[in-house]
Homo-oligomer: A and B are copies of this chain.
Amino acid sequence: LGKKLSFGEGFPPRSVAIVGVSRNDDSDVPGYTGLKLLQILRGAGFQGRLYPVNPNASSIDGIKVYPDLTSIPERLDLAIVAVPPAAVPRVLEDCAAARVRNVQICTSGFGETGQDAAIRLEAQIREIALREGLRVIGPNCMGFHIPSVRMQMHTYTPLVEGPVGFVSQSGGHARIYLLRGPELGIGFSKVISYGNALTLDAPDFIEYLGEDSETRIICVYLEGVRDGTRLLEVVKRTNRLKPVVVWKGGLTTAGGRAAVSHTGSLAGDRTIWDAFFRQTGAIEVGSIEEMAEVTMALLRLKPSSGKRAAVLAAGGGSSVATGDICVQEGIDLPALSETTKARLLEFVSLVNQGVANPIDVPSVLTKAPRLKRACEVLAADPMIDMIILHMGAEFFVGPMAGSMAELQKDIAAQDSGRAKPVVIALSDEGQVRETEPYARQLREMHIVAYNSLQRACRALNRFAGYHRFLAEQSRE
């Protein structure tokens, strides 16, 4: 029943119908209505043609309304379906009649409810879709966010173009990434929320992004997948060309139970997914924050498969924690060589300071010329792959602000030519409110800055792990 359909024809869409646009919204049910979607697309300035469909209206919000899809005077790239569940089968027949290229079903209330009648209804629409060869995104999904054509699935998410593609089984997670990404300097090529995966599934979208020239990094949020073998095969192939970052949700019993009730997915068990990550080399993350944080490193830092860091910090107690955190997050902190120590002691006093690694040197972090010299000494050490500056909000205000401004210029200027990555980790989690503005300022200068040392190390470990995987693959 049905042949394999690839995704991409008529995408990004230029002619879009929205089926199920009522005159006004008065629903208490959570979720988007057709009218809301029409308003979002018009509000965003969507660069294509919009055709609302409603058999009982001739005009809504000042634009012409069509009674059905076959009455629309051009072939549609996309029909967005936002009618109640029971009306979906009839609309799909209409989509087939109008030869619509892609069908996005927003409507919820299918397999994910766990109720017999709803599961039967999902089986019925699946049968129609397969029989008619419909490329279905959804049901129970939010659809697309494509800054280049000003297409949006949520209100209040900025339209920031960039090289990151995101395939998300959850519209809520897509929203979070769209809000947080730009704060880390991340812009998007195409974001696709696909819900219950009726006919098109994650591998179809990943394959598309793998071939999309606007996409350099592919992020994926998955709950389940129908064809695990195909996912493995597609990610394995794609990840060698573009990094694929995957958050697999629902790996615990409680998370898996929620996945069933969210998108009707069977989440699968940990061992299967461990094998998936080992074989594909995809980068595993556990939240949208982590996804954004490793993406920032992939976007900005020169490829490096080494993970031996030198850490410059301030405060003895913090240095102890610094060492523990780095090691726990998989970053190696080799003891400094005698040569490197001696070169640092030329301008660093040992009173209330230390040149173990982590290097506890408040007097260095507060003076730009000394900091520059310390970075040079450390970068010259062949045992060191990267430098992490661990600093609190106090380094960005008052008398120290000048030093930091100089340092920022210095790091930013060396950006492309720098032999070894320099990353700033703001301390600590509890200070995020104070340090976040400085982090943004640094990121605007294309400096890789994290809100905590833990987050920095976690991202760097994954970043280096990806490049190590590529290096091992190319040796085989």
Instruction: Give the distance to chain B from A291, nearest Cβ to Cβ, in Å.
Output: 11
Q: Mask for A421-437, Cβ within 8 A of B = 1, else 0? A: 00000001110110010
CB atoms of B327 and A252 under 8 A apart: yes
A352 at the interface (CB under 8 A from B): yes
CB atoms of A262 and B351 under 8 A apart: no
A326 at the interface (CB under 8 A from B): yes
Identify A29's interface contact among B28, B252, B319, B352, CB under 8 A: B352
- CB-defined contacts of A170 to chain B, threshold 8 Å: 315-318, 320
With contacts A223-B320, A262-B320 known, is A315 near B352, CB below 8 A? no
Interface size class of A (residues with CB under 8 A): 35 or more
- Bound CA span A318–B287, Å: 10
A169 at the interface (CB under 8 A from B): yes
Which chain B residue shows the least CB distance to A260? B356
CB atoms of A315 and B429 under 8 A apart: no
- CB-defined contacts of A254 to chain B, threshold 8 Å: 322-324, 326-327, 333, 357-358
- CB-defined contacts of A414 to chain B, threshold 8 Å: none
Q: Mask for A150-173, Cβ within 8 A of B = 1, else 0? A: 000000000000000000111111
Q: Mask for A253-279, Cβ within 8 A of B = 1, else 0? A: 111111111110001000000000000
With contacts A250-B320, A354-B112 known, is A288 near B255, CB below 8 A? no
Instruction: Give the distance to chain B from A354, nearest Cβ to Cβ, in Å.
Output: 3
Q: Could you show 25 A-B contacts with beta carbons less than 8 Å apart?
A: A29-B352, A30-B353, A113-B351, A114-B354, A115-B350, A140-B352, A168-B317, A170-B318, A171-B317, A172-B317, A249-B324, A252-B327, A254-B327, A254-B357, A255-B324, A255-B325, A257-B333, A257-B356, A257-B357, A258-B319, A258-B320, A261-B354, A262-B319, A287-B429, A432-B433
Identify the A interface with B (CB < 8 A).
28-31, 108-109, 112-115, 140, 168-173, 176, 179-180, 221, 223, 249-263, 267, 286-289, 292, 315-328, 333, 335, 349-358, 360, 362-363, 428-430, 432-433, 436
